[in-house]
Chain A
Amino acid sequence: MRRTPRLVLAAVLLALATACTGDPAPTTPASGSEGPYLRGSGTLRVLAGSELADLRPILDEARDATGVTVQLTEIGTLDGIERVATGAAARDHDAIWFSSNRYLELHPDAADKIGVDAKVANSPVVLGLRASTAQRLGWDRNRPTWSEIATAAGAGEFTYGMTSPATSNSGYSALVGVAAALAGTGRALTTDEITALTPRLQSFFTGHALTSGSSGWLADAYVHRQTAGVPLDGLINYESVLLSLNAGGRLSEPLTVIYPADGVVTADYPLTLLAGAAEQARTNHAAIADFLRRPSTQAKIMEQTHRRPAITGVSLTGTFGPADGGLVELPFPTRYEVANTLVSSFGDALRKPARTIYLLDLSGSMRGSRLEGLQSALLGLSGADTSLSGELTRFNGREQVILVPFSTTVAQPRRFDVPSDDPKPTLDRIRDDVRGLSANGDTAIYDALARGLELARELDAAEPGRFTSVVLLTDGERTVGRSLDSFRSMHAGLPATIRSVPVFTLLFGEGNVGEMTEIATLTGGRTFDARTGSLAAVFKEIRGYQ
């Protein structure tokens, strides 16, 4: 009976605790009923996909509950895979967190690099169409198959935005899903099947009118296009992104979420410890995983980010579909070769070909290491970078690459049309051209921008139907030529299709951050920070947006 007094005291304390919790809503169990939080300390350094950024408020709560600060470093899917596979990720990070590990797990060198994981949520990749477009196609009433979606897109019935399969998981999942559904075998894809599917996948990608390296930016760009008067009909993205857009109050017309009748590929957000993580990191990972997978947190993740719960006992709210019928899970490739072939065929054969205009500052200040950095970045895209990410972000077959060097004046553009068969001679010519670049003179930024967009207009008139985008690299302020104001009025006078050509600006050297940001905002592009880190990495990252 030694324990009796203690038990009574314990019971009293528990009763007090219960009294403190007040009267929580029955659907959200009080955290107290889920047992004490696991504790850690310090920081959990996580290499993460950009789409996880919306979980920051939840991670702030996790810090208060567990004592662990989760530090997210954003990285694209392929770069992330490569850093894990080479072991580089484990040198400065404890864990990885992408929307899925499926591609990573196929990498032959990745298997022994990853440790325990905790699945945090679910979200299928689906199609969202403006309500009026969905009605016109009858898809608000009858769920189409991917095959019907591909046919309608090929017939010009609708346009959509989708992220690049080479840099973002939502685009990759969409590609896997549509390819598996079109193959219609009922089994995971094989390499031979991909070749046979090419014409039908090309038809599907006819409607692809906006690309992006990340899911979050795609949603922003969709809103920008709507405001700029060149709206798209829809988006292919995570259900969570589409539902968040609908809830966000930025859309002039809500998106109808369309769940393809033959299935989807679902992201499961595994927070994954890297092999060899330190003792403290393991403890921190366990504490964060425990916090994220509690019913009360899962309910919050569902309410705030529109992702589906990963655990049982949290009921789905009404916004999740489909209203009737099932949501079949389509098979993901089981072989690394198949996964890679899908991405490389996307670039070389399936996608709408790109027209990429590079405006390159060759003023005097670029001389030396900056010019070398630029040359090495462009050489990498022309085939010198043989890493996985280099391989899958190089200039593609059918792509039109235009280099426009500028300093005091704007030089004659050099245009390279990369053929799909035997691209090597053309890539070699690009490399020769890049090696011959030299720096001298002033900085006519806005003359170059105006020339770049005029060029886009001429080329688009001659050959429409390409993805046209502009990259602007400068390391300093405008010193001669047209001003920003003058460029702004020139831009306002362009036809809507050219006004919506995105300009991707690099923050580099002593470049004017404010002006670079303004150009990006004006044109619906975005800025990329190349002030620290290598130009090559940023040029590869931009490839996802071209």
Chain B
Amino acid sequence: MMRPRNMVIVVTVLALLGAVVGYLLAGSDPATVRGVVGTEKATFFADPRVREAFEKHGLRLEIEARGSREMATADALAGHDFGFPASAQAAGPVARARPASGTYEPFGSPLAVATFTSIVDLLAQEGAARRGGAGHWVLDLAAYLDLAGRDLRWDQIAGNVAYPARRDVLVTTTHPSYSGSAAGYAWLAATHLGPDGLDRVAKLFTDQGGLERSTGDPFERYLTQGLNFAPLVLAYEAQYIGAAAAGTLPDGATLMYLSPTLLSTHTVVAFTERGDEVGELLTTDPTLRSLAAEHGYRTGTAADFATVLDRLAGAGTSLPAQLPEAAPPPDPVAFEAMLTALDQRLRQ
């Protein structure tokens, strides 16, 4: 172990050298571009290779991460060159909060549930989980909503030694008013339960307990605390693939696709010329596209994603190349109306 003072000297030297190296590599000072992105993409933008790819084009990114719907206020977007929410539905409010100079849809990722094999077995036993065609796991939304509607608790499932907690069988989500993933999940549930089912949709959230505001947070606790945090955590497929590639998944981790699921089209909403450049590069630059695939996002280039899936399959995780049973993208007006009505119920 180094003494703190030595450490400080070394760190200072390193920082100076880093700056020199950066200068030598780039040749000139890059321009700073500021963006607010959904927390699920924080790890993508923190990847040194991603930063380097942007710097090659003369852009240095400064990223703030928060909920995709939470970012849709003039104050949250002020001073940024672009917003990058997790879905096309969340991009609408962002563009309304601040006029856009352009929008870009570089990649997407379906909603899924990060969980554990022991938990999937229990849900399979209750008829809510099954295998899909590519050997991946599927959470049957209808059967799951039925279990949740009956207030089934984990400790009531026969033979459950994996997680005999006195807690309801519920997917842990973020708050639908702030976060795109929870809003998508609410839409799927509301679509299944029909126009009279909104109270039941609200109950899926109020029964959980305190709700985080952005998808990065519960997923990080899934990674660090595992089953202690929650048995079922709503996430984007990309978050799971990213963690699998980084080797940070908890023991016994697996992914379940919602059936039907919703493909979230992560959408860049640019406010300035530099913001447009970012959207443009994410959509067209081959390096950035293949890095996005490595972080688990489905880009327009199937080959990039296939390579990533092959690597995961080699490590024992099989995920489907073709998107499993996706629901049609929601009508924006109906979607916002549903969320407004839901928000009222959650604040009562």
Contacts and interface: CB of A to CB of B under 8 A. Distances in A.
B209 A263 contact: no
A327 interface: yes
**Number of contact residues on B: which range applies?**
35 or more
Nearest to A16: B17
A28 B213 contact: no
A90 to B, nearest CB: 11
A116 interface: yes
Given A10-B24, A184-B166, A332-B209, A116 B17 contact: no
B7 A335 contact: no
Interface centre among B21, B64, B75, B151 (most CB of A within 10 A): B21
Contacts of B8: 61, 64-65
A500 to B, nearest CB: 37
B165 interface: yes
Contacts of A276: 75
Interface stretch (A132-140, A304-312, A348-356, A401-409): A304-312
B17 A13 contact: yes
Contacts of B166: 181, 184, 186, 262-263, 328
Given A186-B166, A187-B208, A275-B76, 15 more contacts: A6-B27, A25-B1, A31-B14, A36-B18, A112-B73, A185-B151, A186-B151, A186-B165, A187-B151, A262-B166, A310-B224, A312-B243, A326-B165, A327-B228, A331-B209
A282 to B, nearest CB: 7
Interface string A1-43: 0010011011001101100111011001011100111000000
A476 B75 CA distance: 49
B321 interface: no
A37 B13 CA distance: 12
A105 B347 CA distance: 11
Would you call the interface of chain B mostly helix, strand, loop, or mixed?
helix
A318 interface: no
Interface in B13-34: 13-15, 17-21, 24-25, 27
A10 B64 contact: no
Contacts, number: 160
A207 interface: no
Nearest to A38: B62
Given A3-B25, A14-B21, A187-B168, A36 B210 contact: no
A68 to B, nearest CB: 14
A275 B75 contact: yes
Interface string A320-352: 000000111111111100000000000000000
Nearest to A57: B4
A201 B241 CA distance: 45
A129 interface: no
A456 to B, nearest CB: 40
Interface centre among B10, B11, B208, B347 (most CB of A within 10 A): B11
By Cβ-Cβ distance, the 4 closest A-B pairs, closest first, are A331-B209, A332-B210, A312-B248, A187-B207
B220 A311 contact: yes
Contacts of B14: 17, 20-21, 31-32, 36
Contacts of B221: 122, 268
A178 interface: no
B7 A31 contact: yes
Interface in A253-273: 262-263, 266, 268
A329 B1 contact: no
B229 interface: yes
Nearest to B205: A334
Interface in A173-196: 180-181, 184-188
Contacts of B17: 13-14, 16-17
